[in-house]
Amino acid sequence: MTDTLSSGAVVRFRLYLIGIIIFGSILLPICPSVLSLAYAADNDDNATKDLENLSLEELMDVKVVTVSGASKFDQPVKDAPASVSIVTAEDIKHYGYRTLSDILRSVRGFYTTYDRNYEYLGMRGFSRAGDYNTRYLLLVDGHRINDPIYNTAFVGTEFPVDVDLIDRMEIIRGPSSSIYGTNAFMGVINIVTKKGSDINGMEVSGEAGGFGTYKERLSYGRKFDNGLEAIVSGSNFNSAGRSTLYYGEFDSPTTNNGIVQNADEGRYQSVFSTISINDLKLQGAYSSRAKTIPTAAWDTVFNDPRDRTIDTIGYLNLEYQYNINNLSKITSSIYYDNYHYNGSYSYPDNFNKDISQGQRLGGDVRLTTTMLDKQTIIMGGEFVDNLQQNQSTYYVQPYSVQLDDRRTSNNWAVYAQDELKILNNLILNAGLRYDYYSTFGGTLNPRMAMIYNPIDSTTIKLLYGRAFRAPTTYELYYNDGGVTQKTNPDLRPELIETYELILGQSLGLGYLLEASLFYNDIKNLITLETDPTDGLLVFRNQGNLTTKGIELQIDKQWDNKVKGSVGYTFQQTKDEQTNQDVTNSPQHLLKAKLMVPLISNKLFAGIEEQFTSRRMMSNGEFAGSFYITNLTLSSSNYIKGMEASMSVYNLFNKKYTDPAPPQNLQSAIEQDGINFRLKVTYRF
């Protein structure tokens, strides 16, 4: 064991050394010329000559040709019946994003909350503690990742696909139950992965960062002459985390004066592969992630490093596409998902194990047909058989079972969507889906959109949608024997209706403006709360919320590959019964980013500024507002086949907190200060 650790330490030291050597050799020669290069770029009269007169459609196509997740078929972004943001592989590299949470935190209207175990999403002023991201549908190449027990959209290190394998990420705002069913409540996040030809050989990558963080990845991809294309990749991640953390709520001699030591560790291993030939594609992923919990959540023993969660995710998805003719195709898929959760919790008199096991088998078939370039119709059906939805919790010694719940369930759906070009500049999009669940029955959800281009440089979208979120197995049936939580099998689905007006406008000189006015009406909200009669946590359909606001974003792109954006969101979410603001809902979000090629095609600087206004906590007080600055320098083509980057996160070491979920004694959880990462990737 000692020799292994020593060898690992040597390898990690070499990674640090390689990073220092590379950046030293790059930065020292160019430092005197950076200012002059920037000045020249700023004063180039021809910098925007090819972009300043582009139409809105052409400007959108510069970003990405199509989006596939909005309607289950490729369509121009400007024609999608939703507000869509695209994050590309180039963005991920130049801004140093490490997880989906990093990416989404940079996107207009999104914010995140971290309780030092999982990361939770918020969008347009809505983020409920304890919901495990169930109101977002997470897809990988169209395959549902939300698990069969908690319906979690994993956006932290537990996400099963390495971010280096992402070709682009499609963020589709608003309800999409009309085509996807449950979880497509607030939005859909579709990850489009790289193909074998994108790597075209072997790729090895190593990272070293703050808090004792290291990551290694090995990938192989190729497209062969016989049409076979394959990619296979494996990743390993280890982080020691913060060596000490302080929580004032536990500041007493009996609880180590509020100091947690060496209890913030995280690690994961993951494997991903896609193999395709002609119209047949097989994709699979597996990951296992473990995270210690330093916050003494669920009334566990403070400062006990045995408290941890382990999430294991795996799936196989086989897809076949049959082209009837040039205008029509049938796409069918069959898939298998497996999810296992293992929680370990220490209590004063015993040790608790919390286990969940979910298995899902499903299939989808859909027909997509285009008529005379004027109408695109999609019709389909889906069936899901939850083979296993088991939850158990027990104490180790003496052995005592609190919960041993074993269930199965199923649901099926039929759906249709019609995109009709009434005029060359006017599109009507309408969709409808019926879902039937063995647990609660049926639900019908529509979506409608009118998309109008009065002139080439302007797009106007008027959107309406209704969506639902089915109560999860965890919300319905989990209890721990009356220690902290109890069941509620009478839960009903949540419902949301949304109205949105979107303006896309080319301003000339390479500027593009997007503005959105939105209004959300949420009913039967499933909320984790404390029952005053017994003090136990329980999920209930409690309350109705309304959210309204405005989003603005301006993008700018130059011929010299300099590009940037500024996005602002004002949002207000209120409880309809009390007319009071809700918890964890910032009124103001500001995102600004700029990517500058310091040396053309060789060295890039990416800088981000993110502002989040104050958020109310569960005790009625506020977690303060904060600015975060991130800086990444990335290089390529200095050495053939090699890329390197250096990122500094929270550059000015801002101290800030996130509101805590109800299972915590703390009302707020302190977040990390300044952090860094060095990364080297070599392709051969």
Question: Residue 558: its pLDDT value, please?
Answer: 86
The CA distance from 174 to 465, in Å, is 7
Q: pLDDT band for position 9 (50/70/90)?
A: very low
| Residue 136 φ then ψ, to 5° | -130, 135
The DSSP 8-state label assigned to residue 165 in this structure reads G
Q: Nearest to residue 432, comparing CAs of 384, 464, 470?
A: 464
Domains of the chain, residue spans: 2-598+614-621
> What secondary structure does DSSP assign to 205-219, as a single string?
EEEEETTTEEEEEEE
The CA distance from 307 to 381, in Å, is 43
Question: Residue 11: its pLDDT value, please?
Answer: 42
- What 3-state class would DSSP assign to 97? coil
**In this predicted model, what pLDDT tens digit does every residue of 554-595 receive, in sequence order?**
999 888 889 999 999 999 999 998 899 999 999 999 999 999
Question: Residue 65: its pLDDT value, please?
Answer: 60
The CA distance from 471 to 148, in Å, is 11
For the ranges 35-49, 381-395, 410-424, 653-667, which has the lowest average pLDDT? 35-49
**In this predicted model, what pLDDT tens digit does every residue of 35-71 receive, in sequence order?**
333 333 333 444 344 444 455 445 444 444 689 999 9
Q: Looking at the whole model, is its pTM more than 0.85?
A: yes
Burial class (CB in 10 A: 0-12, 13-18, 19+), 347: middle
Do 37 and 598 meet the contact criterion of CB atoms below 8 Å apart?
A: yes
Judged against a pLDDT cut of 50, whether residue 436 lies above it is answered with: yes
The CA distance from 101 to 121, in Å, is 8
Q: Which CATH class is domain 2-598+614-621?
A: mainly beta
Judged against a pLDDT cut of 90, whether residue 525 lies above it is answered with: yes
Question: Residue 29: its pLDDT value, please?
Answer: 35
Proportion of the chain above pLDDT 70, given as a percent: 90
Q: pLDDT band for position 480 (50/70/90)?
A: confident
Q: pLDDT band for position 7 (50/70/90)?
A: very low
**In this predicted model, what pLDDT tens digit does every residue of 486-502 receive, in sequence order?**
999 999 999 999 999 99
Q: pLDDT band for position 314 (50/70/90)?
A: very high
Q: pLDDT band for position 663 (50/70/90)?
A: confident
Long-range contacts of 326-329 (CB under 8 A, 24+ apart): 327/369, 327/370, 327/371, 328/367, 328/368, 328/369, 328/370, 329/367, 329/368, 329/369
What is the rounded end-to-end Cα distance, in angstroms, of the chain? 32
- What 3-state class would DSSP assign to 299? helix
Token digits of residue 200:
């075209």
The CA distance from 329 to 487, in Å, is 45
